[in-house]
Chains A and B, each alone.
Chain A
């Protein structure tokens, strides 16, 4: 008997699961208070809390450049971007909190998991941003990579996340253009500016490839991509997203006369695939375990802000 012919309250757990899968197959959206399998809830909590925290940790390397931006216009631009990132963190933390409610958990727990190392943040935000060109490359290519993964989830089966992503991606369009604007100014600037840009690209290239995650769990020991695809949270694999990124960005990077630090990089017409040098996945594992060049410094910065504001949270309770 199809679960639909039975009253909602009389359905067994299996029938609820079957109905749930029918709903997502039909393109319906699951809402916060709807029945959902634990595996789905756990995968969403992990994905969205990591995304939320990465927005906030991602604002840290960029905010270093607010006081040092070269012109008032650039300063206003990068300030607006940092503000957006914190705003995205807030949107996503709310989505995660609603999912964690049945477990009695809140954003406090997310923050504590970040400090204890249990909750990871994106590999790119563990890295250094020593020059203004790094700020440009982050906004252009790191945000470009984020746009590739996030647009892939615009139609996610979980309604609140899908809606948050629509808003986030619309703002990311501005981020990407802000990045292009910085990069083009440097690319058309003095010899020194072009060299600075080229150096930043060399610094960021392996991190950009790592951004999309390993091809499969075999590379790094764990990967949630199969579960998120099964539940229509996303549609493409890590590797498909990396290929999309290369297709969209390699020609643009090269058009500016920049050299990508990978002599093996080429498009294989026959197999319709980019061939590239694998980044060092052992390095990736170390970075996301908070052993990257800036991991501890940025976590400490976050912890200081958290501790300094503790009295406000306590006073409000």
Chain B
């Protein structure tokens, strides 16, 4: 792959660019670009993809260092829908059951709200955005 890329682009190699919009957001794939080395790839990535949007972190990876899946391999990722015992949807009947005991269901939304501080809750109520 490296040889092929270099034959195609000579001085340049293909870099894949990933960036993070905020400290709590996931690393996200942006796009690819051509650059002679990692340092130039950083500069070009900022010029190409981060002219306006906020960014707190940036990764550049040589495409030749990434082992991508082939179309045939991707085909094997498809799942059969037979794992309800492993999923919360397989336990959806609990909502009705707990209601019989006059209790609320602890679903994902409820459980994740336990981690919120008073601040987060106020922001949610007033509709202002979290930092």
Contacts and interface: CB of A to CB of B under 8 A. Distances in A.
A223 interface: no
Contacts of A77: 85-86
A226 interface: no
B102 interface: yes
B23 A151 contact: no
A178 B91 contact: yes
B114 A151 contact: yes
A134 to B, nearest CB: 20
Contacts of B87: 174
A177 B112 contact: no
A169 interface: yes
A144 B110 CA distance: 13
Interface in B1-29: 23-24, 26
Contact of B23 (A159, A177, A180, A184): A159
Given A27-B131, A29-B23, A73-B85, A176 B115 contact: no
Contacts of B111: 147, 151, 169, 172-173, 176
Interface size class of B (residues with CB under 8 A): 20 to 34
B8 to A, nearest CB: 33
B101 to A, nearest CB: 4
A27 B57 CA distance: 15
Given A80-B85, A180-B91, A154 B117 contact: no
B85 A251 contact: no
Interface in B84-127: 85-88, 91, 94, 97-98, 101-103, 106-108, 111-112, 114-115, 117
Contacts of B106: 144, 173, 176-177, 180, 248
A177 B94 contact: yes
A174 B84 CA distance: 11
A46 to B, nearest CB: 21
A181 interface: yes
Contact of A255 (B23, B86, B101, B131): B101
A181 B92 CA distance: 10
Contacts, number: 77
Given A29-B24, A173-B108, A177-B91, A147 B86 contact: no
A230 to B, nearest CB: 16
Nearest to A180: B94
Given A27-B131, A177-B94, A76 B86 contact: yes
Contacts of A28: 23, 56
Nearest to A173: B108
Contact of A174 (B26, B86, B97, B103): B86
A248 B23 CA distance: 31
A149 B114 CA distance: 10
A256 B101 contact: yes
A155 interface: yes
Nearest to B113: A151
Contacts of B98: 180, 252
Nearest 6 A-B pairs (CB), nearest first? A151-B115, A154-B115, A177-B91, A255-B101, A151-B114, A80-B86
Given A29-B24, A181-B94, 10 more contacts: A27-B24, A28-B23, A76-B86, A174-B86, A174-B88, A177-B94, A180-B98, A184-B97, A235-B117, A248-B106
Interface of A: 26-29, 31, 73, 76-77, 80, 144, 147-148, 151-155, 159, 162-163, 169-170, 172-174, 176-178, 180-181, 184, 235, 244, 248, 251-252, 255-256
9 contacts: A27-B131, A31-B57, A80-B83, A151-B114, A163-B26, A173-B108, A244-B114, A248-B114, A252-B101
